[in-house]
Structure 1
Amino acid sequence: MSIADPMLELRYEHAFDVRMNFDKRWATGAIHPNGPNHGYTSLDIGSTVSGPLLNGMLVDHSGADWPVIRTDGVVELNAHYMIQADDGALIYIRNMGYVHGPLRTPDQGPDEEPAIGRYFRCTPYFRAPAGKHEWMNRTVIVGVGKRVPKLTEDDEPDHSIVRYYAIR
């Protein structure tokens, strides 16, 4: 039975984009035999925030991602860092999510095109000060991301771009 109710409609709007430049990446290895690997990826300088609802920068070296790299090829994100809005407000963000490249299903052979496409989605939680940015403390926001690794010396620095949407 379908209920037509405007309160049950999913509405969203583009809130802002974040470009995160990365400094160092470490893999600490598995804690248990055959278990997932753990890592650390620190923020570098020059990370930006831009969009219709928030503009500013990520505070240089203000945080990192502490990912779990699972044996199935999925990376569980667990990032913490600070945003400095253009008006000077400092906003804490904790960002959790999943990232993976193309994956094969268990019944696929090694020569087959992976059945599961790339995926990078996250759900951030914010601690913003009272005032202009406090809407972030009570709004569900989701992010859709893209990894841009540095493959050659001439490439841009290793970074990710995440587009955040406010769910209304």
Structure 2
Amino acid sequence: MSASVSSLPHKHLMTLRLSVDSARAAQIGRTPEGQRTIALIEGGTFDGARCKGKVLPGGADWVRFRADGTMMIDVRLTLQADEGALIYLTYQGRFIGAAGAMAQLARGETLEPGSYSLVTIARFECGNDQYAWLNNVIAVGIGEQSGFNPVYTLYEIG
């Protein structure tokens, strides 16, 4: 039996807004895995029905550009809930855009929504009892690019 995505059980988990320090990105260069850049995350916010707070500075996106132009993302962040609990968030995904959209992204411009696709899969770790439920969450995200600062809508699956 074939199921459509609309029948996949999901609910809004959080909206994640990031501030990326693109000016200080480390340009590693071309490696066997592709063109590698490490972009520092300065901070941000997250909010949802069950948790909200801020993104602490110190995270990063270990970006890799494949030969076909696809940008592969690998982000690791520390979230701090309003109550003080620390939450580790890691997500991987990909950004696909037409050549014009990729050039706009490189310049830090805001992209037209239909000119790209940014999707992720996310996992959480937390030792705080109040947020221990996050340890079992698998989330998928849809991203919107606003200059260098993405906004993700994360959905809990299942």
Q: How much does 1:146 deviate?
A: 1.1
The equivalent of 1:51 in structure 2 is: 48
Name the CA distance, whole Å, in 2 between partners of 1:100 and 1:25: 20
1:102 and 2:92 aligned? no
Alignment counterpart, residue 127 of structure 1, candidates 101, 125, 128: 125
Q: How much does 1:103 deviate?
A: 6.0
CA offsets 1:62-114 (integer angstroms, 9 cap, x no match): 2101111111111111111100001100001111111121269xxxxxxxxxx
1:73 and 2:69 aligned? yes
Contact 2:140–2:155 under 8 Å retained in 1: yes
Unmatched segments (≥5 aa) in structure 1 = 105-115, 150-157
Normalized per residue, which structure has more strand?
Answer: 2
Contact 1:39–1:66 under 8 Å retained in 2: yes
Contact 1:103–1:117 under 8 Å retained in 2: no
| Dislocated runs of 4+, deviation >3 Å | none
Alignment counterpart, residue 163 of structure 1, candidates 149, 153, 157: 153
TM-score by length of 1: 0.76
Structure 1 residue matching 2:129: 3-state secondary structure: coil
TM-score by length of 2: 0.80
Question: Percent same amino acid among aligned pairs?
Answer: 24
Q: How much does 1:136 deviate?
A: 1.2
The equivalent of 1:113 in structure 2 is: none
Unmatched segments (≥5 aa) in structure 2 = 101-113
Structure 2 residue matching 1:87: 3-state secondary structure: coil
- Counterpart residue identity of residue 165, structure 1: Y
Contact 2:79–2:86 under 8 Å retained in 1: yes
Query: How many residues are paired up?
Result: 140
The equivalent of 1:25 in structure 2 is: 25
- Counterpart residue identity of residue 52, structure 1: A
Name the CA distance, whole Å, in 2 between partners of 1:159 and 1:74: 18
The equivalent of 1:108 in structure 2 is: none
Name the CA distance, whole Å, in 2 between partners of 1:163 and 1:29: 31
Normalized per residue, which structure has more helix?
Answer: 2
Name the CA distance, whole Å, in 2 between partners of 1:63 and 1:51: 21
